[in-house]
Structure 1
Amino acid sequence: MTLRELTDEFLLYLSAVRGLSENTVKGYGNDLAQLQEFLTPELDVTSITRENLMLCIGRLSAENKSAATVNRFIAAVRTLFAYAKKFGYVEKNPSLEMKTVKLPKRMPNFMTSAEVGEICDEPVKDELLWKSRDHALFLMLYSSGCRASEIVSLKISDFMDGGRSAIVTGKGNKQRKVYFDIEARKALAEYLTDRKKILAENKVDPVPRELFINQKGGALTTGGLRYILNRYSGVEGTNRHVNPHAFRHTFATTMLGNGADVRMVQEMLGHSSISTTQRYTHITTEKLIDIYNKAHPHS
């Protein structure tokens, strides 16, 4: 079996059998396309050695790829050859000794309460695109801690308790309940009125199931969300650029900073591992130390 044939079969397996999301399968495909580029697609998989794979990592390093990019590539190659070994395409897994690169410690990017308030109010202050939609979008991101992909996939039918909560589908098709505060619900009600008008004016049929739509009546995409946020956080707006994930980081640090239990926050964010959530406790601790050092007379 050639490397190309193995890769094609593996990606189909991830999608059809494992049920991984389109974006996840695409990510694997991109990394394994690079493997084919390094080793040639028609190479027999039984002839691939550990040395071949280490040279691929060397190529990535020579191209100044980040540690995260290199580790993602290694993970994709490991998973591919684990599949090949499981189904008998290779006798020995050549990827077992591939070592991941140590990642630099990076704290998540989050906003202060003043900054998040400013960006949430920006659509009302400067109507750059669609005031009611963008106001509701920002408030709901901050209120729920949703990922960008989760908020744009949210459907009206997903809401419960009179709009106080909704069921979202996150990574690995895992579902969880998220919550919206009163300010977000008020903004949502205003947006829903405008949404009906836009759909009627554009004679959209069938009506999108997704809650958030663009100005032509089509479902909003993650790219569209990034564009909206770039406009409001760019020079026309706050002039302090933020990405959609900053709302999620800010939600987490706010919850933990106000005394929420870390396991509760883990559940609300949909983290598989509590260690991922615990990164935010380091941020709140550092923030407290900084406040102490600035305020205490003997610090």
Structure 2
Amino acid sequence: MVNNQELISDFENYLLVERNYSPYTVTNYLKDINDYQDFLSSEQLGTLLSVRKPNIARYYLAYLTGLKYSKKTIARKISSLRTFYKYLLKMDKVETNIFLDLEVPKANKTLPKFFYPKEMEQLFEVIDNNSVLGIRDRAILEMLYGSGLRVSELCNLKVKDIDFGNELVLVFGKGHKNRYVPLNKVTIKAIHNYLALSRPTLALKNETEVSDKLFLNHRGGDLTTRGVRVILNNIIEKTSENFKISPHMLRHTFATHLLDGGADLRSVQEMLGHVHLSSTQIYTHVSREQLKAAYMEHHPRARKKE
């Protein structure tokens, strides 16, 4: 008989290998499932495969609500469990997905945070373009901002994925779906400099193996998602601004600036690797806010006081 930990371990492997989810995403899935498992144990309601209480999904939803979790967190936790039981159903471990039809409170949609063009320039200005790590960091920032990659996609890039001739990068995205994303001239120059002046020096520091990954850490090993976040935080600390940064914020900035510049929604969807257009449409709301702000600031009638 399969125990709970074996089920969770098999699910983890499924997410990493078959679904190609990032380690960060998988960690959140596993935490949500383990939280549910602890709930079942503490309430003596059975196991993941055998629950004694009818309507356990609604009961767990009420429990989460009582803990004062935000609507967004509750929605994520239920979504994780829905995906987990969908997997169990697929593997014939259960007869039904008990979380399939559970309705959760809709979270209030928040607009993605992004950088304005002047703020992006500040980030680039503080990078030391003469040091080995500075040259690498600039290439990373140019790639995230210039191509809108997810941080996991950036870390998985190989040197051979850069097509300088056609000015494209081959991205291995979610769900084993590949896509080509254009590279602008500035990004191409930054990668050229990194490959010529930085990466060879970093690679020499790793005497145990030769990596085929594009971006290396300061020891010559593969750069991790956590390493990218550390690099970005270091860049922010050198600026005079007091704002936070994340790789996904640069992805938001990429999409927002493209739409502000007149790019069509379908093209942005393709470059971001979104399966559904609705995932991309949230950036149109950001652009509308930009338009409204510009109107209120510059139109004579908008500035006129009643």
TM range (shorter): 0.7 to 0.9
Letter in 2 for 1:8: I
- Structure 1 residue 81 displacement after superposition: 3.4
Contact residue 6 and residue 84 of structure 1 kept, 8 A: no
Which stretch of structure 1 is more off in the superposition, 24-33 or 239-248?
Answer: 24-33
**What is the identity, as a one-letter code, of the residue corresponding to 2:207?**
V
Q: Which amino acid in the other structure matches residue 247 of structure 2?
A: P
Alignment-derived partner of residue 39 in structure 2: 38
For residues 5 and 248 of structure 1, do their structure 2 counterparts lie closer, same or farther at Cα, with a shift above 3 Å needed? closer
Task: Tell me if 1:52 matches 2:52.
Answer: no
Partner of 2:70 in structure 1?
66
Computed over aligned residues only, the root mean square deviation of the Cα atoms, in angstroms, reads 2.8
1:204 equivalent in structure 2: 207
Q: For 1:70, give the aligned amino acid.
A: I
Deviation by residue 1:105-137 (Cα, 9 ceiling, x = unmatched) = 20001111111111122213897x921011111
The aligned residue for residue 177 of structure 1 is 180
Equivalent residue number for residue 233 of structure 2: 230
Deviates more, 1:276-285 or 1:23-32: 23-32
Q: CA contact under 8 A between 1:262 and 1:278: conserved in structure 2?
A: yes
Matches within 5 A, 1:1-299: 4=4, 7-8=7-8, 11=11, 14-15=14-15, 18-21=18-21, 23=23, 24-40=25-41, 43-44=46-47, 45-85=49-89, 89-91=93-95, 93-124=97-128, 130-162=133-165, 164-192=167-195, 193-200=197-204, 202-234=205-237, 238-299=241-302
Give, in whole Å, the separation in 1 of the partners of 2:28 and 2:293.
39
Question: Where do 4+ consecutive residues of structure 1 move more than 6 Å?
Answer: none
How many Å apart are 1:69 and its aligned residue? 2.1
Could you tell me whether the CA contact under 8 Å between 2:164 and 2:188 is conserved in 1? no
Instruction: Give aligned-pair identity as a percent.
Output: 34
Tell me how far 1:13 sits from its aligned partner.
7.4
Q: Note if contact 1:133-1:191 (Cα within 8 Å) is conserved in structure 2.
A: yes
* Post-superposition offset of 1:79: 3.1
Instruction: Give the Cα separation in 2 of the matches to 1:268 and 1:230.
Output: 25
Tell me the amino acid that sits aligned with residue 144 of structure 1: S
2: CA distance between counterparts of 1:218 and 1:13?
24
- Structure 2 unmatched runs, 5+: none
2:107 partner SS: coil
Q: Which moved more, 1:81-90 or 1:277-286?
A: 81-90
CA distance in 1, matches of 2:53, 2:40: 11
**Displacement of 1:49:** 3.6
Q: Tell me, which stretches of 5 or more residues in structure 1 are unaligned?
A: none
Bigger drift between 46-55 and 2-11 goes to: 2-11
Give 1:208 deviation, angstroms.
1.3
